[in-house]
Amino acid sequence: MAVDLATLRARLDLPQTVIPDDELQEILDACIEMQAARVIALYPSASLDRALIRRVGREVSAKGMPMGAGNSEFGQTYIPWNDPILTALEADYLLGGFA
């Protein structure tokens, strides 16, 4: 499955009124670059597609929060930098580090 704007809108339930196509494409492109820096190959599996969709969803949800943090009725909310689900989805494809 290739991740395109139509797929993102369907999977994330994002109507055009929430975020326009040009802005969503910018976010998608940036997330593709972020994923490319972490994994060996792009889109060899459904798990990397799911990870990319999750990355875009995190970026879109952070859009309304200054610096990724905001307030709610239950206290301060934020989007953590580390997402264990993203790590699990990309685990088999991560680039190795240097010792």
Q: What is the pLDDT of residues 45-73, one digit of tens each?
A: 788 899 899 999 988 887 765 554 555 56
In this model, does residue 3 exceed pLDDT 50? yes
* C-alpha dihedral, 29 to 32 to 7 to 67, nearest 10°: -70
With respect to residue 99, please indicate whether it lies within any of the assigned structural domains. Answer: no
Cα–Cα distance, 60 to 64 (Å, whole number): 8
pLDDT digits 0-9 by tens, 26-39:
999 999 888 888 88
Structure tokens at 66: 């200054």
Domain span at residue 88?
5-93
In this model, does residue 99 exceed pLDDT 50? no
Average pLDDT value over all residues in the chain: 79
With respect to residue 82, please indicate whether it lies within any of the assigned structural domains. Answer: yes
Cα–Cα distance, 19 to 33 (Å, whole number): 20
With respect to residue 98, please indicate whether it lies within any of the assigned structural domains. Answer: no
Check residue 1 and give its pLDDT.
Answer: 57
With respect to residue 67, please indicate whether it lies within any of the assigned structural domains. Answer: yes
Structure tokens at 49: 């597609």
pTM score: 0.74
| Spatial contact of 39 and 87, defined as CB atoms under 8 Å apart | no
The total number of structural domains in the chain stands at 1
